[in-house]
Structure 1
């Protein structure tokens, strides 16, 4: 794959984050501390340095062939409204998927639409065997998105992460290549 892929869904465009996304990235990720509360590494407040790191991660992941970080854009405006990424473990043909969506766009099915498209991309274009994701027990809405896309609860990982001085449980969901295509 020479160029960063672009995925189009009925309402969204998923493509490479670009510097002109910075304004929306900072605006949306500083609207609420919920992103930091529901992710392992997203800080609050979200600074220019945080944005620099995200852009660098997206660029280097593609260059090194160990990650695809997509900007989630509404087709109608083409503006960034979220992000979704596959972080690959190529030797095991698997990837972890993670995502966020700006609060004004919640409860519209956008994350489900983006996740379904990225799962398809991971299995068809990257030739993965397994894609998994985790979510904190206090964020069951994320698990509902995973379920809607055919992912199944694989495990409850007790005290998996130490965050802000507290050990947190996470639910791990996954979908296998064969299961994904059985759903199609």
Structure 2
């Protein structure tokens, strides 16, 4: 079982089935699902529940570490690290509720997650990306030390089409 991660302003905790209704209400906002590749526009509570159960199983397998971002006991986003297999780099992904935009939430949560991964020896090579029309996400990743590696179209469920996507990579700085 994963433990919570604390930041200066937030608590990051694994999602639970009881969170499915709240998470579903948040991701049904087009300002979220249009910025994330794998969220359908009318995601159901059942789909969210399956996602939560999948993250639990992924955590057991060492391929998923997903946390809700909690502020004052309210869910304001998610942050996670996923990889297809244990010999692959983790991909960092996140979304933040529009009501919390512009306050450094994603940056603070991602720094905490990366620090947690570093403590587990799992942050030597991280990847991520963002849709080209979401430069705010690009600024978050740049602050975290990610560098541009390429651009190509990625299918977005929320928009039902391919969108140009910027791929980034972060190499852990060498130990001094």
Is this a same-fold pair by TM over 0.5? Answer: yes
Alignment pair present for 1:37 and 2:34: yes
Which of 158, 169, 176 is the matching residue for 1:174?
A: 169
Which residue of 2 is the match for residue 90 of structure 1? 86
Which residue of 1 is the match for residue 56 of structure 2? 59
Which residue of 1 is the match for residue 111 of structure 2? 116
CA contact (8 A) 1:24 1:81 kept: no
Distance 1:10 1:135, change over 3 A: same
Alignment pair present for 1:23 and 2:21: yes
Which residue of 2 is the match for residue 13 of structure 1? 11
SS at match of 2:87: helix
* d(CA) in 2 for partners of 1:25, 1:37: 16
Q: TM-score, normalised by structure 2?
A: 0.89
CA contact (8 A) 2:128 2:167 kept: yes
Distance 1:50 1:120, change over 3 A: same
More relative contact order, 1 or 2 (CA 8 Å, 6+ apart): 2
Stretches of structure 1 lacking an aligned partner (at least 5 in a row)? none
Which residue of 2 is the match for residue 159 of structure 1? 153
* d(CA) in 2 for partners of 1:128, 1:69: 15
Which residue of 1 is the match for residue 96 of structure 2? 101
Alignment pair present for 1:127 and 2:122: yes
* d(CA) in 1 for partners of 2:160, 2:97: 27
Greater percentage in helix: 1
* d(CA) in 2 for partners of 1:58, 1:172: 23
CA contact (8 A) 2:34 2:156 kept: no
* d(CA) in 1 for partners of 2:123, 2:107: 20
How far is the alpha carbon of 1:178 from its aligned partner?
A: 2.0
Question: Size of the alignment, in residue pairs?
Answer: 174
Please tell me the root mean square deviation across aligned C-alpha atoms, in Å. 2.0
Which residue of 1 is the match for residue 45 of structure 2? 48
Which residue of 1 is the match for residue 69 of structure 2? 72
